Structure 1
Amino acid sequence: MLKINIVCLLGGAMVSQTAYAESQSNGVIETDSKIFSVPAGQLHQALDSFARRAGVNLTYDAALLQGLTTEGINGRYTVDEALSMLLVNSGLQLSHIGSGGYLIASSGEVKSEITLPALIVGAAAEKNTSIMSLNAPSSISKFGTSVKETPASISIIDKEFIRETGAKTVDEALLYTPGVHSGNSGFSTRADWITIRGVDDLVNYRDGLRGYGGEGGPRVNVYSLDNIEVLKGPSAAMYGQGGLGGILNTTTKLPQADSQHEVWLQGGSYDRKQAAFDSTGALTDDGKFLYRIVGLQRDSDTQVDYVNDDSYFLAPSFTWKPSDKTKVTLHLHHQEDDSIMGEQFLPQSGSLESASRGKISTSTFVGEPDWDRLDKDTTEMSLFIDHTLTDTWQLSASARQSESSSTFRSHRTPFFSASNQPNADGNITRIVRTLDTDNKLTNLDVHLKGNFTTGLTQHSMSVGIDYFKSLSESDNFFLGIGQGGEFNLYEPSYGNVQSEVVNPFDLNDSEIKQTGLYLADHITLNNWSLSIALRHDNYQNTQLNVDAPNITHKETETTKQAGIMYNFDNGISPYVSYAESFTPNTGNDGTAASNILKPTKGEQRELGIKYLSPEQDVGLTFAYFDIEQENRVSDGFTFGGVQQIGAAVKGWEIEAKKAWQNLTLQASYTDLDAQDKGADTRIPHMPEKLATLWGQYQLPMGIRLGAGVRYKGNIVGAGDGPLLPSVTLFDATIGYSFDDWDFSLDAKNLTDKTYIARCRSENADCYYGDRRTITANARYSF
């Protein structure tokens, strides 16, 4: 939501609010009936789960619910009916209060004004305490369960946390997520470079549909998102196309019934200027037609001279609800990015190590300001349909058609040869490269969702079919090694474009088609829960050759996943799980033989514990995992080429969250042993140790302070070299809110630490990490 009333303090803190008490029979807040399935068990857990699924706010004294149980519900109810059934035989009374919420209290306690130790759960609690995400619903798992109920490692980063930490990209939004190495290529304008659990095979999804990957596709703007979900470990049994380390799903902002509007202005380091707006609400009085429009315009320089990072997007969406059983949403998105390659691919001598003239400046631009470019243009149309068939079953369909084009013109230093190192004067001979790409994606997912009871067990089931097609075209390619002109890395001089040597040609294109049938079921029996998934895929990868017959490779694959969990009444939930991965790869290995890439396969075994305190002010997750992988795509030993090898990863990760009256803290630690299979070398570009701490303190008068620290252990390049030292970075924010205004100042890499984030291999190219950035923000919500 764009405008939030702070009404919740966790841990039994005192909250005063005015409540407009009504008897249960007076007035109804929500008249639409929906399918709800809440298992029997502890009342406080059942109410919390229901509130988040129904999107309502509940206010109650946590002490009143201790020791109380409920028989649960399963069927079609209004919100009032469902809550009343959950409270049967509890001795508690339900009443409506202001702002569409509910009060639960002992009989006779309801007054016109109420002051009590309160715990508020549901929509408001999720917004105010975004770090406490264990009870948030997870769409990425397809089980229809919350994060805590799912026997797998899931992290949800919502837009409030993104905003409070000052994250400007998906990379930055994930900096405090356990098991995730974000920004592993250092400063970049090309894409978000993210590794999960040491495995560099991330597949991106948006709204459950596969998106683009790598430098050719658009870079998702975090302002267009409601949240980001990270499912760690394989997910092929649910998505077919998912990396072994995990998948990333971003959730788009869609129309809301409540009228909410925001205007946001931002300015900061490197002459950054940005303006954005977000507006949503009902178009008609009956609420059958809703709208939302989100837009952003940015004009910015970067830490590298002559490299800009300009962008704009516009995303209108419309929802039609012809009845309480049907909802149809159309979402459009157009984005244009105007930039230059941010990574400068600097030689190891002069970046990681001093050369004869010392270290190369992080601001040095190796290209040509009037020739280099990195432009992208993306247009997408998405359709989402939800229709309730019966009291038990709902039909959902999602479809997206996307087209994206990019234009690359760049100069860079050479690598994989002795010419990578500058001479004594700092001179080096550049590479010149051109490439134009066009990508078309078609996605369709149709599935049935059911909530029902069979005997003593309750089921949350999804059964469906999805279809994915991608066409990747690459034209105007040229790679001139040693043909980009001589360049001095310490005294840059521009205007030496060797345009006469550029002789581009078209590359082979690639087309992927995949159809999958899947079944996922979350089964609950008392305190036990079992999550199982099974999927069968038909996959086709066709190399569309320019001067030769096309080559088609077909495969079928059946993948499975299972996890079992026991939910103790004290909030502790241990689990074990097994999952498999299957990732189709496009194109070939980039060698002279042009070998078509084989699908990457793998499996993971995981043992974990989740804990959420009854007061919901303490959350803890722990997971140990063992990963085996085949045909992993890794950097090759020819320019632009890749190789396929295996990997073995063992590790553990832990995250703890705590909320006090005015203070929230979250800490995480990740420990990995990641090895290239069959070789005694570490998996490159991944630290084996990661640690983070983030905290925010709310002062009187609307002032808030935030600070974070991030530790990244040492990293190696391909072949175990070179070794990059560990680094510790600091972030900070300060904010002030009054009335409808919010002002904030945020800083990343507060001490302006200069460090190397990645080196390809020994004596190859290296990339600087992000320097300090400071931005000031002004938001007006109405």
Structure 2
Amino acid sequence: MKYPFPAQYRVIALAMAAMHSGLPMADTETTPDGITQLEKVVVTASTYRNTASKTALPPEKTPQGISTVTEEQFKNKGAASVSQALRYTPGVNTELRGGGATRMDQYTIRGFTNFQNFYDGLQIHYNNSFIQPQIDPAAIAQIEVFKGPTSVLYGGMPPGGMVNIIARQPSSNNYDSIELATGSHNRKEATFQSTGAIAGNDELSYTFTSLAREKDSQIDSIKDERYMVAGGVDWQISDRTLLNMNLYHQKDPEAGVFTGVPATGSVLPSAHGSFDRDTFMGDKNWNDYDRDVTLLGYKLSHTFNDNWSFLQNTRFMDAKALQKLIYENPQAPINPDGRTIYRVAQLNDEKLQSFTIDNQLSGMINTGSLTHNVLAGFDYQRLKTYVYNSIGLVSSIDLLNPDNDQVDPNTPLIYNPYQKYDLTLYQNGIYLQDQILVDQWVMLAGLRYDNIRSDQTGITEVVKPLSNKVRQNNLSGRLGVLYTMSNGLSPFASYAEGFEAVPGSDRRGKAYEPSTSKQWEAGIKYAPETSDTVLTLSTFRITKDNVLTKDPSGGTYDQIQAGQIQSKGFEIEATSQVNHQLLLDASVTFQDVEFTKDNAGLTGKTPSWVPEKKATLWLSYFGDSGLLRGTEIGGGVRYIGEAVLDVATADKVPSYSLVDMSINSDLGEYSPGLEGTSLNLSVTNLFNKRYYSCYDQRTCFIGAERTVKTSVNYEF
């Protein structure tokens, strides 16, 4: 949404506050002195809040980094997961486990690894083992990436930022579509979407999405299979009250592989040559991943008057996963022949249930020339998980001549539980935010107090009793300021704090404290009224303290909180409608991430999975005449810079560049009989470039090979 500058900025404050209260923009009247005044306000409720502020403040007016990826953008680029949808997002390094291991959405944001996604503003709980619900793109309206520490609004999170997945919302506008897709790896896929009023009643509306997909993995003989239903119902109880009930259910009977290959023979040269692209160290008879996830929630929005509103966002999650895999024995030495791998088999049987509720009260207060959009909130999370992990030895494998059919599925491989525990976690937070608008200034100030409790009991490492209690508290703050100029330039600066709970204790029995972080960020946002160009340039420095590191006075595995990691860099993100036919999206990322304090010899070294540079460019051409009438042709390039292979060595993972393309054609432009029908073709890694992502010397992942997807969509 765009706003007039600069004299009318006080009206913007009123409009933003109205939107946060669930109010539409009011009818306006312009006075002789150029000041726009509100004539009337019609009250309706809303359940959407922007990720970076939990208000209606748009990203270009928010004094902190945030990137948004729309459904159209990630569909055109052939994204089959949230990780793939973020390939062109600055500051985000995706697909850490390559092209075969796609069952989890994992990435680094501004240099820090993140496994914690949010769905419609609530955390999707991850049990730090193998249960991570993975929202399918078919159910997503857009994705918002909030950069830097986000704890003031969301509690414990990694300091690089967070990913908030926005679900499709109900609408009274009738819409139905069926999409059939095929392509690489024997893809068979069908998607159905529908929205509309229920029984012709505009006070009741719905959205519904279902998907069925089956395809081969990048690894021969391994399958990917998914069935998903998602939807929601909006009940406009009154002009001031809206109730949204929502559901997401996903069943993954099979989900590819989760193992890699050694660095020697992939990234590093080997006397025996390189591994094939589909090299697999596991066994087809012991490679299962069966995941079942249900998310059930509601959002209740009520506006008390033109200034004050309340939103309650609640979700219950139930998830379970059964996994069988074979991977390299981490306790065995690396075989000097560079091809023989000693292996272990693993069985994981896990369950997770969680409940989350976020209560938000917001209102507008005028104090002289200042307009305050005040937000007060309380959230609560409860997580219970059961984890059973067992391991057993299996025969070795020659990766240059692999036999992936050695295991007899009827012969027990697992003898003893390696881990068996129950974990219960409680987290509650109280937060307060003041969004202040005066003339051309936007100021944000926030404060939050968190209390975390967790209890873990069971056994680990076969026989060791496990009893781990966490009792931690943290106070986080946030400050930001942005100044809007009449030419569309908006310089900004911000400071944000974050934390992550750290379980366990040192060798003296002293419980660890939360790991804390802080970010300084400054930059310029550009969104002029007279142009369809949006640009953000930001520079940042993030420092993470209380990182666990080796205890110099203790044993081999004793740790103390004396470590520190620092990430600094800058990002450029630009979108421009060059003319009515050409759209440009571009981004550049430079980051310098290193251990600045450590007792294990890591000081000055960079963590794994963190490229120093990243650059992307995507161009879309919209045809409006001739053979290209109704056709959009898109093409892009992704450059991922050099990264460390292993934090303990000087070896590097080479940089690489990948080319993608897409064609979308509205067939109704060619024949009236095909109205509502469209054809889509997307190709990722067009030239089938071979590339890698590495965690250490033992574990590298081969990137996604060329993937073609073609689909036909019929809207009715």
Bucket of the pairwise TM-score, normalised by the shorter protein: 0.7 to 0.9
Taking structure 2 as the reference length, what is the TM-score of the superposition?
A: 0.88
Q: Please tell me whether the aligned partners of residues 347 and 415 of structure 1 are also in contact (alpha carbons under 8 angstroms).
A: no
1:83 aligns with 2:27: yes
- Alignment TM-score, normalising by the size of structure 1: 0.80
1:756 aligns with: 692
Asked if structure 2 preserves the Cα contact closer than 8 Å seen for 1:201 and 1:632, the reply is no
Listed as ranges, the matches of 1:286-325 within 5 Å are 286-325=201-240
- Distance, in Å, in 1 between the alignment partners of 2:190 and 2:557 is 37
Summarize the Cα distance change of 1:158–1:641 in structure 2 as closer, same or farther, 3 Å threshold: farther
Change (3 A) 1:78 1:731: closer
Which of the numbers 470, 473, 481 marks the counterpart of 1:564? Answer: 481
CA apart distance, 1:463 = 0.6
Residue 90 to residue 340, structure 1, CA distance change in 2 (3 Å): closer
3-state SS of paired residue (2:72): helix
For the pair 1:734 / 2:651, whether they are aligned, the reply is: no
Cα displacement string for residues 55-80 of structure 1 (whole angstroms, at most 9, x for unaligned residues)? xxxxxxxxxxxxxxxxxxx999775x
In 2, Cα distance between equivalents of 1:595 and 1:370: 45
Q: Which residue of 1 aligns with 2:470?
A: 553
- Aligned pairs for 1:44-443 within 5 A: 82-85=26-29, 138-187=50-99, 188-213=101-126, 215-415=130-330, 417-419=332-334, 421=335, 423=337, 426-443=339-356
1:706 corresponds to 2:634: yes
Deviation at 1:47, TM superposition (A): 8.5
1:597 deviates by 7.0
Between Structure 1 and Structure 2, how many residues are aligned? 675
Asked if the contact 1:351/1:360 (under 8 Å) is kept, the reply is yes
Partner of 1:24: none
Aligned AA for 1:742?
S
After the TM superposition, which of the residue ranges 528-537 and 540-549 deviates more from structure 2? Answer: 540-549
Question: Closer, same or farther in 2 for the Cα pair 1:201/1:76, shift >3 Å?
Answer: closer
How far off its partner does 1:639 sit? 14
Residue 45 of structure 2 is matched in structure 1 by none
1:288/1:469 Cα in 2 relative to 1: closer, same or farther (>3 Å)? same
- Conserved? CA contact 1:202–1:246, under 8 Å: no
- One-letter amino acid matched to 2:622: Q
Across the aligned residues of Structure 1 and Structure 2, the Cα RMSD in angstroms comes to 3.3
Aligned in 2, Cα 1:534/1:583: closer, same or farther, shift over 3 Å?
same
Asked if 1:766 corresponds to 2:710, the answer is: no
Check if 1:656 corresponds to 2:571: no
Q: Against the structure 1 CA distance between its residues 634 and 395, is the aligned structure 2 distance closer, same or farther, given a 3 Å change threshold?
A: farther
Q: Secondary structure at the match of 1:515?
A: strand
Deviations 1:522-561 (A, max 9, x none): 1011011110111111111211235858432211111100
Post-superposition CA distance 1:239-292 (Å, at most 9, x none) = 112221001111111211211122111111000111111101111434111112
Q: Distance in 2 between matches of 1:85 and 1:705?
A: 42
Assess if the C-alpha contact under 8 Å between 2:286 and 2:326 holds in 1: no
> Residue 526 of structure 2 aligns with which residue?
611
Distance in 1, Cα, partners of 2:559 & 2:213:
34
Counterpart CA distance in 1 for 2:181 and 2:169 is 23
Deviation digits for residues 318-367 of structure 1, max 9, x if unmatched? 12112111110111121111225523321222222343431111212222
Contact 2:431 2:447 in 1 (8 A): yes
Separation of aligned partners in 1, 2:113 and 2:286: 32
Give the AA of the match of 2:567. Answer: V
Q: What's the offset of the Cα at 1:193?
A: 1.4
Q: Are 1:234 and 1:580, in contact at CA under 8 Å, matched by a contact in 2?
A: yes
Letter in 2 for 1:710: R
In structure 2, the CA distance between the partners of 1:234 and 1:146, relative to structure 1 (3 Å rule), is same
1:672 aligns with 2:559: no
Q: 2:652 aligns with which of 723, 730, 743?
A: 723
**How far apart in 2 are the matches of 1:45 and 1:274?**
50
Distance 1:455 1:49 in 2: 14
Q: Give a deviation string over 1:556-610, Cα, whole Å, max 9, x none.
A: 111100001111111111011100011225x669x99999875331100111110
- Distance, in Å, in 2 between the alignment partners of 1:86 and 1:516 is 44
d(CA) in 1 for partners of 2:509, 2:103: 25
Contact kept in structure 2, 1:464 and 1:519, CA below 8 Å: yes
Determine the C-alpha separation between the residues in 1 that align with 2:655 and 2:550.
22
Q: Do the aligned partners of residues 326 and 775 (structure 1) sit closer, same or farther apart at CA in structure 2, a change above 3 Å counting?
A: same
Distance 1:446 1:634, change over 3 A: farther
8 Å contact kept, 2:13–2:371:
no
Q: Per-residue deviation at 1:692?
A: 0.6
Task: Choose which of 499, 508, 519 in structure 1 pairs with 2:432.
Answer: 519
CA separation of 1:658 and 1:582: change in aligned 2, threshold 3 A: same
Residues 188-234 of structure 1: CA deviation (Å, up to 9, x unaligned): 23201111101124531111111133641221101111111100001
The whole-number CA distance in structure 1 between the counterparts of 2:682 and 2:558 is 39
Moved more, 194-203 or 375-384: 194-203
Percent of residue pairs identical? 28
- Closer/same/farther in 2, CA of residues 338 and 600 from structure 1, 3 Å limit: farther
CA 1:45–1:457 in 2, change beyond 3 Å: closer, same or farther?
Answer: closer
Preserved contact between residue 189 and residue 339 of structure 1 (Cα < 8 Å) = no
CA contact (8 A) 1:428 1:487 kept: yes
Give the letter aligned to residue 398 of structure 2: N
One-letter amino acid matched to 1:750: L
Structure 1 CA distance, aligned partners of 2:594 and 2:88?
Answer: 24
1:622–1:652 contact (8 Å) kept in structure 2: yes
Stretches of structure 2 lacking an aligned partner (at least 5 in a row): 39-47, 598-602, 669-674
Residue 712 of structure 2 corresponds to 778
